[in-house]
Structure 1
């Protein structure tokens, strides 16, 4: 890392068909590489990123390249914090993120078959790694189109809220927030405050996912469990819809909805419009068809969903919907 005059080992995960295909792939940059792939090098258990991605590939996922940066041990706190804390120090995060964008990413794009554009480039981390991932996507919105923010250490500094407010929305992104209710008492409220800050500066509800788990703890086992659905929400839906024609002028009501969603403006189609509901982590919750410009919601539990409408003519729309009782 020339910005900090330090060296870091980089781990690389390649999709199962990388050696036998000529395809290019999205790229996910991750921190704390020691904890992602191997129990022997982990702090307290690995994320099983390679096993999870291999399984998803076998189930039909298109595959992704993961570039993971080892943490610096004693330098970890400093490198993953963009500002210093009066009690803990830190503040090398700006230089660390510059290294990823200015040095590491150009090398990866030059030497691997990557989809190097913003919609296909993501960053993800947990704890302080969640904090620096959020900083990275806000600072470099033209570079990172997706960010997985797991159990972020937003307590470290209020400067992150001010930074989001002063920077604002500059590009379309997807940001997934995940935290457990068994973490610190400030974790979920802090994350909710950041979600609200992002909404206030112009990021839409469709760009943000917010998920909490009653059993979630500040632990590698929890992040291991939540990695696959978080990755899927960030990358999968955009892959399914890639190349389709987005609808304009579609109206829908009411939202929030109780038992029926009404639509107006769907173009005529030779086949029924397909409707798929995904929860906040990209998991399919319901699949049905539109009938008489209506969709029944009676078998959905209360919560927030992404409704994807799609027809055989490759026309589509995505609606952020709240189901209530």
Structure 2
């Protein structure tokens, strides 16, 4: 009897671990079932919420906005159909945000595993419309159409944000058809600064060293256009007024990187030979690619760019102008020395003429970027302008931005009008400052070329056209 009882107790003891494990498994399966049920309930609730949000959005209709207005930015997903972009030659977003720098690392796209490229683009507040093109780090490797022809500047399409979560950036998918270096002629590299000069009249090269910012150790050739009669022995003792023009590679001839040219050589020659202007020299000072923004920026108005405008003006005054005066017969007086440019080139021209009116007494200022980037920084810079050149020509187009960017176009024209009013309010005689608004003019060399004759007649009038002479 005792033996049977002991066997029963032993059996119970041996079975207890199995019973405990079975019990635990039963309890755990119940908990798992409860968790699964909770997950199913949460998923169902999420589907209901998504459906409710979608229904609400559908009821409200799409909410279409410009990507530039979104604080969270926008994600660009780009397909390179040619397959030429790679780790060594990535894609860059060259745009009005970076003054068209083709290799700004702030706007370098990253590669994706699906063979596409991506950029999370955030636009500074107050920017109304961004224009852009894609490059592979150089304007020699710029996107073109499928037939290898040039394309117009792109703008970001409007997006529907009604279905987005708060703070979620919309995605925009874009495609690059081909690149300019796929053209048969791409092997023949065109150099607008050091290549052959195709100009009307005589153009001389003059090498100068230095610059500002990252170009402080550079060497470049300025291009000097000589007026009719300059080399005639009969005028060997004559000295001439001078116009220094920025972005000098675009002044005398068109090249593949720009849609048109200033045509300053043809225009000046026609005005001089026609008796509408006195003879004068043109000194075209080329910009140096990525250093352009630094050299031409007089105020901290563009994100990621350190202004070197003051140093650039000093370089013009202490290096370029003396070099030109040693090589050519120029009149060094400020009332006989003009400086000009367009866009950022116009900004640095105005900066030079107002900071050093003792050097530059005449200024030709086109398409000032007073609403680009940080408008407040431009306003601060503008409010600090108190000294003015003896003659100031201001030009601006009524369609500097995209034709449908009405507000932005009007804002820029008004900003230039305000500058004109600032000049005249300071006591400058109205006859010494001229504002020309080309209602249909865009932000390009064609527009600046159209306004150039009036600017030159204003700055360098023939003696017969000057009151009192």
Normalised by the length of structure 1, the TM-score is: 0.69
C-alpha distance in structure 1 between counterparts of 2:456 and 2:379, whole Å: 24
C-alpha distance in structure 2 between counterparts of 1:41 and 1:140, whole Å: 35
C-alpha distance in structure 2 between counterparts of 1:86 and 1:54, whole Å: 37
User: CA offsets per residue over residues 30-77 of structure 1, 9 Å max, x none?
Assistant: 011111111136522111111111111221232111111111111111
Query: Which structure shows the higher helix fraction?
Result: 2
Work out whether residues 34 and 41 of structure 1, in 8 Å CA contact, stay in contact via their aligned partners in 2.
no
Distance apart, 1:121 and its partner CA: 0.2
C-alpha distance in structure 2 between counterparts of 1:58 and 1:241, whole Å: 15
1:154 equivalenced with 2:364 (yes/no): no
Work out whether residues 82 and 90 of structure 1, in 8 Å CA contact, stay in contact via their aligned partners in 2.
no
* 1:179 alignment partner in structure 2: 396
Work out whether residues 211 and 312 of structure 2, in 8 Å CA contact, stay in contact via their aligned partners in 1.
no
Normalised by the length of structure 2, the TM-score is: 0.49
* 1:91 alignment partner in structure 2: 307
User: Residues 198, 158 of structure 1: CA spacing in aligned structure 2 closer, same or farther, 3 A cutoff?
Assistant: farther
User: Residues 2, 176 of structure 1: CA spacing in aligned structure 2 closer, same or farther, 3 A cutoff?
Assistant: closer
C-alpha distance in structure 2 between counterparts of 1:161 and 1:121, whole Å: 27
User: Residues 226, 82 of structure 1: CA spacing in aligned structure 2 closer, same or farther, 3 A cutoff?
Assistant: same
C-alpha distance in structure 2 between counterparts of 1:83 and 1:100, whole Å: 18
User: CA offsets per residue over residues 198-252 of structure 1, 9 Å max, x none?
Assistant: 2333323222111112211111111111111111111216x4477xxxxxxxxxx
Distance apart, 1:90 and its partner CA: 3.7
User: Residues 174, 91 of structure 1: CA spacing in aligned structure 2 closer, same or farther, 3 A cutoff?
Assistant: same
User: Residues 134, 2 of structure 1: CA spacing in aligned structure 2 closer, same or farther, 3 A cutoff?
Assistant: closer
Q: How does 1:45-56 map to 2 (within 5 A)?
A: 45-56=260-271
1:168 equivalenced with 2:386 (yes/no): yes
Larger radius of gyration: 2
* 1:209 alignment partner in structure 2: 434
C-alpha distance in structure 2 between counterparts of 1:65 and 1:41, whole Å: 26
* 1:58 alignment partner in structure 2: 273
Q: Secondary structure at the match of 1:176?
A: strand
Unaligned 5+ residue runs, structure 2?
A: 1-209, 402-408
Identify the match of residue 8 of structure 1 among 220, 236, 239: 220
Distance apart, 1:161 and its partner CA: 4.4
Work out whether residues 354 and 389 of structure 2, in 8 Å CA contact, stay in contact via their aligned partners in 1.
no
* 2:259 alignment partner in structure 1: 44
Distance apart, 1:141 and its partner CA: 0.7
Distance apart, 1:12 and its partner CA: 0.7
Q: How does 1:212-223 map to 2 (within 5 A)?
A: 212-223=437-448
C-alpha distance in structure 1 between counterparts of 2:257 and 2:265, whole Å: 14
Work out whether residues 333 and 359 of structure 2, in 8 Å CA contact, stay in contact via their aligned partners in 1.
yes
C-alpha distance in structure 2 between counterparts of 1:42 and 1:25, whole Å: 32
Q: Secondary structure at the match of 2:418?
A: helix
1:128 equivalenced with 2:128 (yes/no): no
Distance apart, 1:165 and its partner CA: 4.0
Moved more, 173-182 or 158-167: 158-167
